[in-house]
Amino acid sequence: MSLAGVRFDYIHAERVASPPPNTPLQIQMNYQIEADRAVRRGGVLELPFALALTTNPSAVTLTIRGIAVVQGEVDLGNLPPHVAVPLMQMAMFEASLILRELGMPPLVYIQQGGGSQQQQQTRYF
C-alpha cells in the first residue's frame, strides 16, 4: 500500500482581524482522516480528510478538505504512518502557503546558527 496522490476539494481561508501587535498567536489545529467515509474504486481507496486551523486571539480561520488516493490494501482502523504522515505534511504545507498569503507568520520558526546560544535570535521566514 502506498499514497498515490492527494486532491484538495475545498480550501477556505479568512483573515478575521489583524493580530494585535506584540501578542503571540496560539494556533489550534484539528486534523481528521475520515476512514468511515472511505470509498474503494477499482484498485484504489479514496480516503477523505479535513484540516481546520484557527488562531487565538481570533485572527485567521482555515479549512482544507480533500481526498487521499491510496493504492493497495489498507487497514482503515490502523492507518500506517507511511500513508498518514505524508498526507498530513501535504495538507500542512498547503496551509502554510495560504497563511503566508494572508500575512501570517509561518507555523515553524528557524533559529539562526553561529555565535553563542545567548546571541542567537529566532528568525521567521
Start-to-end CA distance of the chain, whole Å, equals 36
User: What are the residue ranges spanned by the domains of the chain?
Assistant: 2-123
- The pTM score is 0.78
- CB atoms closer than 10 angstroms to residue 102: 13
Q: Does domain 2-123 have CATH number 3.80.10.10?
A: no
Per-residue confidence (pLDDT) for residue 90, from 0 to 100: 93
Lowest-confidence pick of 29-43, 59-73, 101-115: 101-115
Instruction: Determine the pLDDT at residue 1.
Output: 65
Of 107 and 93, the one with more pLDDT: 93
If phi > 0 it is left, if psi is from -120 to 50 it is alpha, else beta; for residue 114 that is left
